[in-house]
Amino acid sequence: MPKLAANLSMLFTEVDFMDRFQAASAAGFDAVEYLFPYAFSAQDIRAQLQKHCLVQALFNAPPGDWAAGERGIACIPGREEEFRAGIATALEYAKILGNTRLHVMAGLMPDNIDQALATETYVSNLRYAAQQVKEAGLTILVEPINDIDMPGYFVNYQEDGAALIDEIDEPNVRLQFDFYHCQMMQGNVLSTFRKLRAYVDHVQIAGVPNRHEPDVGELNYRYLLAELDKDGYAGFVGCEYKPLAGTVDGLHWINKLT
């Protein structure tokens, strides 16, 4: 049985963010993840984690101006100082919250910027981030995101994510393998996962194509997650989907895994 983490940016949105920890625990989750913690005190979040006996699986580094449509700045030349400040902030939160994984969003491909320059900027930034968090025991995660949901995102294919990891060449940079994004972009999710297994440090799931509960759509997660168990994957599986109706009413899919 996989270790499921509730993504609190998408699940339990019926209540305020700080109340979602209790809701996740009451629903049977032992771990949580979410996009960003920075609107809240790290100490207050830690108190919720401790009160409800939850593990913090991961969160994202600051993405630039999210409200204005930015989806990370790692590939954007000229934003290096802002990127470095964001990594410092994320590291301070991680030290308090106890997670060992930090997802760094690549960003949207800048207009009028050569692909080679964007790649050079991204690789340099991720290498810096990895070196900064290494002593604290953190792993930096690269996540390919499909260009249907996020047009213009810098890295879309799982193999491209692995190639970037090779170029960054830091031992604490790994792959965040999202089955939803993989299926939306290229299919062959299990064979792709197995091909890149050595890179993978975190998994996320959602139904395809509408990103609802994992038992809704074209992927058989009962089979897929059982195969991950057979393959020896022992990391977290983040439940990053949009409930069709209420979060709790939709959790019946978990019972189908066994």
Cα 204 to its chain centre, rounded Å, is 7
Is 240 annotated as catalytic? Answer: yes
Contact 73, 82 (CB under 8 A): yes
Q: In the block, which residue shows the tokens 């308090």? A: 96
Q: Identify residue 97 by its one-letter amino acid code.
A: L
Contact 236, 204 (CB under 8 A): no
- Which of the residues 70, 143, 159, 213 is marked catalytic? 143
Q: Which residues pair with residue 102 across a beta bridge?
A: 59, 140
Contact 187, 138 (CB under 8 A): no
Q: Rounded to an integer, what distance in angstroms lies between the CA atom of residue 193 and that of residue 149?
A: 21
Pairing relationship of beta strands 31-33 and 139-142 according to DSSP bridges: unpaired
- Which of the residues 92, 170, 218, 240 is marked catalytic? 240
DSSP secondary structure string for all residues of 38-67 = TTS-HHHHHHHHHHTT-EEEEEEPP-S-GG
Is 143 annotated as catalytic? Answer: yes
Cα dihedral 87, 92, 93, 96 sign: positive
Structure tokens at 29: 């989750």
Q: Which residues pair with residue 188 across a beta bridge?
A: none
Q: In the block, which residue shows the tokens 């207050």? A: 44
Q: Rounded to an integer, what distance in angstroms lies between the CA atom of residue 258 and that of residue 256?
A: 6
Cα 80 to its chain centre, rounded Å, is 22
What positions carry a catalytic annotation? 143, 240
